[in-house]
Structure 1
């Protein structure tokens, strides 16, 4: 049975001019992720990431620590939704100053985005986002040989939507699962005779004990 490991990127730079850049803690988290994957002894036949800087840098840092001899294939279908565009159209915009306050605004905007469906005003609607994310997963599954494994470096919204879709509730996945994903969390999806199934979601014991100070949600 093959498996796809979905890794959420390390902490980005909330409140900074360039949100997409990994923070110093984000690089540390990425190193810990690489060490965790190495500890598991999994051999990856392929690695993919979105084209966002925070995803690409997480991939490069983690795979360097892992010591994997595999090239990362960039696929923008693994990119996160545009939170700025969504907040602009569905919440009147929101300043990235206070993390909790911003999350509250974003939660409401995401719900409105989902409810707007295909007629939404954003550059990318919720149905379009969901379609590209599930298609990206399907392509990885189709490319794996028997017993092969892949690792994908992506974002919380993508992981939440994909996992929700596998459970038959993509909207819940985006609005609820996405809300609790941790930076550097690992989600495992299996592919075999029984189809594609969610095995684990948001694993993060690698951010407990001595590394507990690295646990972040944004």
Structure 2
């Protein structure tokens, strides 16, 4: 049975002019998760990444540590929701200053975004976001042969929505799981005749012990 490994990107630049850039810590985390995948001895037939800089740079750094020359196929369906647009419409902008206060405002904004459904003011609605994420997963699962593994570099909101959808509660997944995802956490799905099943969520043993200083949520 093949597996699909979903990796959240490394730490981005919260509060900076360009949030999408990986921070120095983010590059360290990306190398460490690549080393963790190498330790597990996994070979990947398909590698995907969103088109955001933080996702692409995490992929490149992790694959280098993994020692893989696999081609990374970029697919914007793996991109994160537009937190700036959502915050603008549902949280009066939610400036990226204090992390806890920002999280509180973002949680409320995401709830409003979900509840507004297809008629919300944002450029991308919650149903559209969920549809593209699940479609990207279905496409990847369908492209894998028997026993083959896939690898994806994506973001916390995508992870929460996909994991929630696989458990039948996509809304709760976005609102509850998204906020606890760690940078470069590993979510493992198994793909077989019965479809795709969530096996583990947000694994991060590579960020414990001697590397515990690398653990971050934002």
TM score, norm. by length of structure 2:
0.99
Q: Report the CA distance between 1:91 and its aligned residue.
A: 1.1
Report what 1:50 is aligned to: 50
2:13 counterpart of 1:30: no
User: Could you tell me how far 1:194 is from its partner in structure 2?
Assistant: 2.5
- 1:151 alignment partner in structure 2: 151
Match of 2:197 in 1: 197
Q: Cα deviations across residues 24-53 of structure 1 (Å, max 9, x unaligned)?
A: 000000000000000000000111100000
Give the structure 1 partner of residue 108 of structure 2.
108
- Paired residue for 2:92? 92
- Equivalents in 1 of 2:65, 2:216: separation in Å? 20
Extract unaligned runs of 5+ from structure 2: none
Please give the secondary structure, in 2, of the residue aligned with 1:151.
strand
- Aligned residue in 2 for 1:14: 14
What is the alpha-carbon distance in structure 2 between the residues aligned to residue 93 and residue 31 of structure 1?
33
**How far apart in 2 are the matches of 1:127 and 1:172?**
14
Q: Provide the alpha-carbon RMSD of the alignment.
A: 0.5
TM-superposition CA deviations, 1:76-96 (whole Å, max 9, x none) = 000000001001001111111
Distance in 2 of aligned mates of 1:49 and 1:202: 17
Distance 1:96 1:195 in 2: 39
Q: Alpha-carbon deviation of 1:55? A: 0.0
Give structure 1 regions of 4+ aligned residues with deviation exceeding 3 angstroms.
none
TM-score relative to the length of structure 1: 0.99
Aligned residues: 218
* 1:78 corresponding residue in structure 2: 78
Gaps of 5+ in 1: none
- State the SS of the aligned residue for 2:54: helix
